[in-house]
Amino acid sequence: MTQISDTAREYARAHGEQFRQELHEMLRIPSLSADPAHAGDVRRMAEWLADHFESLGLDKVAVMETAGHPVVYGEWTGAGPDKPTVLVYGHYDVVPALMEDGWHTDPFEPVEKDGKIYARGATDDKGQLFIHVKALESYLKTAGHAPVNVKMLIEGEEEVSSPNLVPFLKEHLELLRADVCVISDSSMRSIDEPAILHSLRGMTYAEIDVEGPTDDLHSGLWGGAAHNPAVALVQILAQLYNPDNTIAIPGFYDDVVPLTPEEREMIAKTDLTEAQYKQSTGVPAVWGDANYNIRERISARPTLDINGMWSGWSGPGPKTIIPAKAGCKISSRLVGNQDAHKIFDLLKSYIESITPPTVKVDVRLLTTGKAALFPFDIPEMQAAARAYEKGWGVKPIFTRGGGSIPVVAEIADLMDIPVVMMGYGLDDDGLHSPNERFSIEMFHRGIETAIVYLEELAAG
Contact between 184 and a copy of itself per CB under 8 A:
no
Per CB under 8 A, contacts with a copy of itself among 373-402 are 401-402
Give the nearer residue to a copy of itself in terms of CB position, either 40 or 356.
Answer: 356
Per CB under 8 A, contacts with a copy of itself among 415-444 are 427, 430-435
Q: How far is the CB of 263 from a copy of itself (least distance, A)?
A: 16
Select the residue interacting with a copy of itself from 288, 345, 390, 394 (CB under 8 A).
288
Residue 91: strand pairing partners: 155
Contact between 63 and a copy of itself per CB under 8 A:
no
Q: How far is the CB of 455 from a copy of itself (least distance, A)?
A: 31
Q: How far is the CB of 368 from a copy of itself (least distance, A)?
A: 10
- Contact letters for a copy of itself, residues 87-126 (x by CB under 8 A): --------xx----xx------------------------
End-to-end Cα, the chain, rounded Å: 20
Select the residue interacting with a copy of itself from 403, 447, 450, 455 (CB under 8 A).
403
Per CB under 8 A, contacts with a copy of itself among 320-359 are 320-324, 326-329, 331, 333, 356-359
Are the C-beta atoms of residues 344 and 203 closer than 8 Å to each other?
no
Contact between 55 and a copy of itself per CB under 8 A:
no
Select the residue interacting with a copy of itself from 10, 179, 289, 389 (CB under 8 A).
289
Select the residue interacting with a copy of itself from 160, 181, 267, 347 (CB under 8 A).
160
Q: For residue 316, how many other CB atoms are within 10 A of its CB?
A: 6
Contact between 312 and a copy of itself per CB under 8 A:
yes
- Give the binding-site size for a copy of itself (rule: CB under 8 A): 100
Angle 440-459/379-387 helices, nearest 10 degrees?
Answer: 130
DSSP 70: P
Q: How far is the CB of 445 from a copy of itself (least distance, A)?
A: 20
Give the nearer residue to a copy of itself in terms of CB position, either 248 or 266.
Answer: 248
Contact between 225 and a copy of itself per CB under 8 A:
yes
Nearest to 160 by CA among 94, 226, 109, 208: 94
Nearest to 57 by CA among 130, 138, 140, 174: 140
Q: How far is the CB of 253 from a copy of itself (least distance, A)?
A: 13
- 458 class by beta-carbon count within 10 Å (0-12 exposed, 13-18 middle, 19+ buried): middle
- 433 to each of 36, 41, 226, 400, 452, how far by Cα in Å? 20, 20, 38, 22, 32
In whole angstroms, give the CA distance from residue 429 to residue 1. 39
Q: How far is CA 458 from the centre of its chain?
A: 28
Task: Enumerate residues 6+ apart whose C-beta is below 8 A from 360.
Answer: 210, 211, 212
Per CB under 8 A, contacts with a copy of itself among 4-43 are 34-36
Stretch that binds a copy of itself, among 111-119, 164-172, 259-267, 314-322 (CB under 8 A): 314-322
Compute the half-sphere exposure of residue 79: CA atoms within 13 Å on the CB side of its CA: 22
Are the C-beta atoms of residues 453 and 383 closer than 8 Å to each other?
yes
Give the nearer residue to a copy of itself in terms of CB position, either 159 or 380.
Answer: 159
Select the residue interacting with a copy of itself from 314, 353, 377, 416 (CB under 8 A).
314
Q: How far is the CB of 292 from a copy of itself (least distance, A)?
A: 8
Nearest to 104 by CA among 91, 120, 82: 120
- 167 to each of 160, 173, 181, 404, how far by Cα in Å? 15, 10, 18, 19
Q: How far is CA 64 from the centre of its chain?
A: 22
In whole angstroms, give the CA distance from residue 301 to residue 290. 12
Per CB under 8 A, contacts with a copy of itself among 201-220 are 201, 203, 205, 212-220
Select the residue interacting with a copy of itself from 5, 164, 184, 187 (CB under 8 A).
187
Amino acid at 320: T
In whole angstroms, give the CA distance from residue 135 to residue 353. 54
Q: How far is the CB of 419 from a copy of itself (least distance, A)?
A: 16
Per CB under 8 A, contacts with a copy of itself among 226-285 are 226-228, 230-231, 233-235, 237-239, 241, 277, 280-285
In whole angstroms, give the CA distance from residue 153 to residue 335. 26
Give the nearer residue to a copy of itself in terms of CB position, either 40 or 287.
Answer: 287
Select the residue interacting with a copy of itself from 81, 258, 261, 315 (CB under 8 A).
315
